[in-house]
Chains A and B, each alone.
Chain A
Amino acid sequence: MDEVLAPVPGKITKLLVKPGDNVQEDDQILLLEAMKMENPIFATSNGKIKEIRVKEGQDVDVDQVLLVIE
């Protein structure tokens, strides 16, 4: 089980996966807006998206769990 954490504080602008999707390591999974820039966040391992803990438009803090891959 792998938790993908927010590397910096920001706002989730777009989720690119749904629970149940299969992902490879380094696939783009969501977009995080920080410092007026839209930044891609990538999967940290291979697996299936177990749960997504954030919604589009939500503000997140650094190290906040964004989603869980199993």
Chain B
Amino acid sequence: MLEAILNGLGGLIAGFQALALDWRSMVMLIVGGILLYLGIKKDCEPLLLVPIGFGCILVNVPLTDLMAKDGFLRIIYDAGVDTELFPLLIFIGIGAMTDFGPVLAQPSIFLLGAAGQFGIFLTLLLALFFGFTKLEAVSIGIIGACDGPTAIYVTSKYAPHLLGAVSVAAYSYMALVPVIQPPIMRAMTTQAERQTVMKYTARPVSKTTKMLFPLVITVLGGLIAPKGLPLLGTIMLGNLMRESGVVSRLTKASENEIANVVTLFLGLCIGATMSGAAFLRPQTLIILGLGFLAICLDTVCGVLFAKGMRVLSGGKINPLIGAAGISAFPMAARVVQREGFKYNKKSFLLMQAMGANAGGQIGSVIAAAVMLSVLAGMGVIS
């Protein structure tokens, strides 16, 4: 009888015993708390960091089996992250929210969206030097895509053990874009270049063009880079729904209900991968560092490319807009607009920056698609 009572009580103490035995769980509980603090108090991507932070806390309380075979977090993870479903569903919402008008009005701006992705491949190379495997390096490089769902899609498929680190890096640095970019933008341009005034030549885009755009991109992109069609197709589906104007119920659902529900589950699952054993390794710090570098390199390449375009256009292009060629939409465009004002109150870069930013969204998806298809061509992935 006494034994039974003692055993029963033991069940209530076991958690504390287990926690005392594993310092890593305690550290990760604090890490989860930090993520929550950043999200709640510092307004740093709270839609992601709050579920991630809480998932991290949940999974690091010992003896709870939430991520074990029948744990509820495991069930959600297997349903949506392992299957790639969650990032793709979010992508539909993103496509539904984006207006590609400014890009379509000036297609040459599109190319800035390509230059802004170069950081991905440079970082990939660097990651290899740091000793990561090929697929791990791919997943680290994709942080440079500056796009949460893309990074999650690639990493959960090819390096799932890095999902926690890559996601935290991707979302934290996306939020830090207003801090990371301006010094680089300033360092790489001359005062005269920064003050360039760009005239907004409003070339209005017809509704037909805006509807054909997602179709063309999907088919063309899918032919060139078939491995990326899930990513490309979902974002373009959202955009087509938006531009057609005839399925506003579906469009609204994609932007709101679907995106919100999935964001919640996705964040929770990412946090759930952040067990002490997986997260607290020197690798994680290196990944965080490389991720930071990726975004810096994106900015450098974007501005450099824009400088080249300036030369070719006879001085008409303000190289600052090159920094908006990343997928952090619309944050990077706003940063460029603000920086433009800083150097010249008469300069209004918003439309061109938005164009570059939207180009960056497409560019990041294409870069990921190209990367995966090249990998398939090389036989590194099936």
Inter-chain contact total with CB atoms closer than 8 Å: 34
Decide if the interface of chain B is mainly helix, strand, loop or mixed: helix
Chain A residues lying within 8 Å of B333, measured Cβ to Cβ, are 35
Chain B residues lying within 8 Å of A37, measured Cβ to Cβ, are 330, 334, 337, 350
A62 vs B345: C-alpha distance when bound (angstroms): 17
B158 contacts A by Cβ under 8 Å: no
A40 and B350 form a contact (CB under 8 A): no
A8 vs B352: C-alpha distance when bound (angstroms): 10
In the complex, how many residues of chain A place their beta carbon closer than 8 angstroms to a beta carbon of chain B?
15
* Also in contact, A7 and B337, with CB within 8 A (given A35-B330, A35-B354, A62-B200): no
Chain A residues lying within 8 Å of B350, measured Cβ to Cβ, are 8, 34-35, 37, 39
Chain A residues lying within 8 Å of B345, measured Cβ to Cβ, are 25-26, 42
B348 contacts A by Cβ under 8 Å: yes
- Min CB distance A61 to B, Å, is 8
- CB-nearest residue of chain B relative to A7? B348
Chain B residues lying within 8 Å of A25, measured Cβ to Cβ, are 345
B346 and A39 form a contact (CB under 8 A): no
- Min CB distance B313 to A, Å, is 19
* Also in contact, A8 and B346, with CB within 8 A (given A35-B351, A35-B354, A37-B334): no
CB contact list, B339-370 vs A, under 8 A = 341, 345-346, 348, 350-351, 354
B337 and A8 form a contact (CB under 8 A): no
As a 0/1 sequence over residues 32 to 56 of chain A, the CB contacts with chain B under 8 angstroms (1 = contact) are: 0011110110101000000000000
Chain A residues lying within 8 Å of B351, measured Cβ to Cβ, are 8, 34-35
A7 vs B346: C-alpha distance when bound (angstroms): 9
Chain B residues lying within 8 Å of A34, measured Cβ to Cβ, are 350-351
B2 contacts A by Cβ under 8 Å: no
B5 contacts A by Cβ under 8 Å: no
Chain A residues lying within 8 Å of B354, measured Cβ to Cβ, are 35
B202 contacts A by Cβ under 8 Å: yes
* Also in contact, A62 and B202, with CB within 8 A (given A37-B334, A37-B337, A39-B337): yes
A44 vs B344: C-alpha distance when bound (angstroms): 11
A25 vs B346: C-alpha distance when bound (angstroms): 10
Q: Contact residues of A with B, CB < 8 Å?
A: 7-9, 25-26, 34-37, 39-40, 42, 44, 61-62
Q: Contact residues of B with A, CB < 8 Å?
A: 102, 200, 202, 330, 333-334, 337, 341, 345-346, 348, 350-351, 354
13 residue pairs bridging A and B, Cβ less than 8 Å apart: A7-B348, A8-B202, A8-B348, A8-B351, A9-B202, A35-B102, A37-B330, A37-B337, A37-B350, A39-B348, A40-B341, A44-B346, A62-B202
New A-B pairs, 15, CB < 8 Å, besides A9-B202, A37-B350: A8-B200, A8-B202, A8-B351, A26-B345, A34-B350, A35-B102, A35-B333, A35-B351, A35-B354, A36-B330, A37-B334, A39-B348, A40-B341, A42-B341, A62-B202
